[in-house]
């Protein structure tokens, strides 16, 4: 069988590897001049610092299978994501923890005292939160919400937080101790040689043929028995029902001497500062950060994604979900194509979930091919 995979990001690479290892011939095409999709890393020519070109990526997971999978292909260096936030002219630590609470309210509360104090601030009248704002106010009350979430979220998503689903905030923990690790996951790290090297190793297999700078639309897809498409689902269907809404990011790159901000990520929560965060890339590689005299940073701006922009964050409000279900209908009626990955299923996916889903899809594909069954358009329900 000849199989084509569109996209050399983590979804395409992991699926390709697993299917090639099972004896199938794989061609991976990607329109970019590099592999690894949005996780791509490269050395900055001016400073030598390893840069996350499409925004900062920290690997974190509770999934041992996924951790073991990536560890075969790279050396994972210890890395803990500790994020600082500037609000109303003061620096705090995120996610909201005991230090944030004590600094913000000028107190010296112990954990149980802080729990009761925040409970007294939280809005009790809400019941089941119906949107982002209600979720925040029922967890932490109005003052912390306004300082850390309201302005940042408006900048990030371009709408009032009342228009966003509560689920966007549920990803962030609130802690009543001094743990300022941004993630709760058991495994966390950074690939020593960058994500592009990781993906390079994943697709290093004699049955995988890679074609970069190749748009799917330009190849003769009829020579393949099946196509796995990890690009945008609306694009595959020529935007027949319109464009699914995304936020895109603009990165304003700048250089400085020495250490610019003393840490990898600072969020800017106030509305009057136009960017959402500044990332200083050498701090993502703490084991080598001191060896660089100069430094490279990104100011990150979020805005609506237009034609020609890179789609980053799927918006998934009611209208987009309606349009998505129309595309799902078309996909289910199509033959010899399956959709996966963050763009193929129009979902925000962390890298570990992306890898887990690609591993799972490859198992399903192998089983279905073995019994001679048709491959599905999706390996899970993109609307869930
Ligand atoms: P992608 O990486 O987008 O790969 C898709 C590939 O398909 C691209 O290379 C594209 O060029 C190619 N393509 C698309 N259409 C076509 C076409 N028609 N023809 C040819 N090629 C095509 N996850 C974490 O776990 N930790 C983090 O800290 C983290 N930070 C993030 C920060 C930002 C700003 C963003 C946006 C995401 C972050 N993620 C993070 C998520 C992570 O980027 C995704 O999990 C991962 O990139 C998904 O991989 P993918 O292969 O599905 O998609
Ligand atoms: N958020 C915020 N202030 C912050 C960090 C996050 O308001 O300092 C909000 C924002 O709406 C973001 C959401 O919380 O989209 C989830 O945060 P996360 O760090 O997971 O952001 P993402 O990975 O989506 O950029």
**CATH code for the domain in which residue 13 is found:** 3.40.50.720
User: Could you tell me which of 112, 111, 169 has the C-alpha nearest to residue 144?
Assistant: 169
Cα of 67 from ligand 2 centre, angstroms: 24
User: Could you tell me which of 154, 136, 38, 131 has the C-alpha nearest to residue 317?
Assistant: 131
DSSP string, 238-282: TTTT-PPPEEEEEEEEEEEES-SSSSSEEEE--TTSS-SEEEEGG
Q: Where are the alpha helices (DSSP H) in the chain?
A: 10-21, 64-71, 98-105, 111-121, 132-144, 151-157, 167-170, 195-202, 233-236, 318-333, 341-344, 351-370
Rounded average pLDDT over 36-65:
98
For residue 12, the ligand 1 atom closest to its alpha carbon is 51
Q: Classify residue 188: in a domain, yes or no.
A: no
Same domain, 93 and 163: yes
pLDDT of residue 384: 87
Same domain, 210 and 335: yes
Same domain, 235 and 338: yes
Same domain, 13 and 126: no
94 lines ligand 2 (CB under 6 A): yes
Q: Which of 153, 169, 185 represents a domain boundary (last residue)?
A: 169
Same domain, 14 and 121: no
Residue 171 reports pLDDT greater than 80? no
Same domain, 22 and 163: no
Domain tally, the chain: 2
Rounded average pLDDT over 57-75:
98
79 lines ligand 2 (CB under 6 A): no
- Burial class of residue 90, CB neighbours in 10 A (0-12, 13-18, 19+): exposed
171 lines ligand 2 (CB under 6 A): yes
Same domain, 89 and 159: yes
233 lines ligand 2 (CB under 6 A): no
Pairwise pLDDT comparison (171 vs 47), residue with the higher score? 47
pLDDT category of residue 13 using cuts at 50, 70 and 90: very high
Q: How far apart are CA 32 and CA 213, in angstroms?
A: 5
Q: Are 210 and 25 in contact (CB under 8 A)?
A: no
Residue 153 reports pLDDT greater than 90? yes
Q: Classify residue 207: in a domain, yes or no.
A: yes
Rounded average pLDDT over 269-292:
98
**Residues 242-274: pLDDT tens digits?**
999 999 999 999 999 999 999 999 999 999 999
**Residues 308-349: pLDDT tens digits?**
999 999 998 889 999 999 999 999 999 999 999 999 999 999
Q: Classify residue 272: in a domain, yes or no.
A: no
Q: Classify residue 382: in a domain, yes or no.
A: yes
Mean of the per-residue pLDDT values for the chain? 97
For residue 85, the ligand 2 atom closest to its alpha carbon is 8
Residue 75 reports pLDDT greater than 80? yes
Q: Classify residue 371: in a domain, yes or no.
A: yes
For residue 10, the ligand 1 atom closest to its alpha carbon is 51
85 lines ligand 2 (CB under 6 A): yes
Q: Which of 169, 193, 221 represents a domain boundary (last residue)?
A: 169
Q: Classify residue 267: in a domain, yes or no.
A: no
Ligand 1 site residues (CB inside 6 A) read 6-12, 29-32, 37-39, 55-59, 215-217, 230-231, 235, 249, 312, 341-343, 349-352, 354
Rounded average pLDDT over 33-55:
98
Name 84's bridge partners.
Answer: 93, 266
pLDDT of residue 270: 98
Same domain, 165 and 208: no
Residue closest via CA to ligand 1's atom 21 equals: 30
Q: Classify residue 303: in a domain, yes or no.
A: no
- Where in the sequence is the domain holding 215, given as residue range(s)? 1-35+203-243+315-384
Helix axes 10-21, 195-202, angle to 10 degrees: 30
pLDDT of residue 173: 85
Same domain, 162 and 118: yes
Same domain, 377 and 326: yes
Rounded average pLDDT over 161-178:
88
Rounded average pLDDT over 106-126:
95
Same domain, 236 and 374: yes
Q: Classify residue 287: in a domain, yes or no.
A: no
73 lines ligand 2 (CB under 6 A): no
Cα of 352 from ligand 1 centre, angstroms: 12
Q: Any idea which residues carry the catalytic annotation?
A: 171, 175, 247, 277, 300, 348, 350
Same domain, 230 and 325: yes
Q: In degrees to the nearest 10, what's the CA dihedral of 59, 61, 66, 69?
A: 40
Query: Residue 12 is encoded by which pair of tokens?
Result: 């395409």
pLDDT category of residue 127 using cuts at 50, 70 and 90: confident
- Express as a percent the part of the chain with pLDDT over 90: 95
Rounded average pLDDT over 150-165:
96
């Amino acid at each position: 069988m000849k199989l084509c995979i569109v996209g050399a990001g983590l979804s395409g690479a992991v699926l390709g590897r697993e299917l090639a290892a099972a004896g199938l011939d794989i061609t991976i095409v990607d329109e970019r001049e590099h592999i690894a999709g949005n996780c791509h890393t490269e050395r900055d020519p001016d400073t030598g610092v390893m840069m996350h070109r499409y925004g900062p990526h920290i690997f974190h997971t509770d999934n041992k299978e996924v951790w073991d999978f990536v560890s075969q292909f790279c050396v994972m260096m210890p890395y803990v994501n500790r994020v600082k936030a500037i609000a109303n002219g003061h620096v705090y630590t995120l996610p909201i923890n005991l230090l944030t609470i004590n600094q913000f309210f000028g107190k010296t509360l112990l954990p149980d005292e802080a729990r009761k104090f925040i409970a007294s601030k939280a809005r009790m009248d809400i019941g089941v939160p119906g949107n982002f704002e209600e979720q925040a106010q029922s967890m932490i009350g109005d003052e912390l919400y306004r300082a850390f979430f309201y302005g940042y979220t408006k900048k990030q998503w371009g709408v009032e937080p009342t228009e966003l689903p509560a689920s966007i905030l549920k990803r962030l923990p609130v802690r009543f101790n001094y743990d300022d690790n941004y993630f709760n996951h058991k495994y966390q790290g950074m690939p020593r040689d960058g994500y592009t090297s990781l993906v390079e190793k994943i697709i290093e297999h004699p049955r995988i043929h890679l074609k970069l700078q190749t748009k799917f639309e330009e190849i003769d897809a009829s020579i393949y028995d099946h196509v796995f498409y990890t690009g945008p689902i609306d694009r595959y269907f020529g935007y027949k029902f319109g464009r699914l809404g995304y936020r895109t990011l603009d990165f304003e790159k700048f250089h400085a001497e020495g250490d610019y901000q003393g840490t990898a990520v600072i969020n800017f929560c106030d509305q009057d500062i136009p960017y959402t965060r500044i990332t200083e890339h050498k701090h993502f590689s703490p084991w080598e950060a001191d060896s660089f005299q100069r430094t490279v940073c990104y100011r990150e701006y979020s805005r609506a994604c237009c034609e020609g922009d890179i789609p980053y964050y799927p918006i998934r409000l009611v209208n987009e979900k309606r349009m998505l279900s129309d595309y799902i209908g078309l996909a289910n009626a199509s033959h010899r194509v399956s959709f996966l990955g963050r763009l193929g299923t129009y979902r925000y996916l962390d890298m570990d979930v992306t890898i887990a889903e690609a591993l799972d899809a490859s198992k399903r594909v192998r089983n279905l091919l073995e019994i001679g069954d048709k491959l599905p358009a999706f390996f899970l329900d993109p609307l869930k």
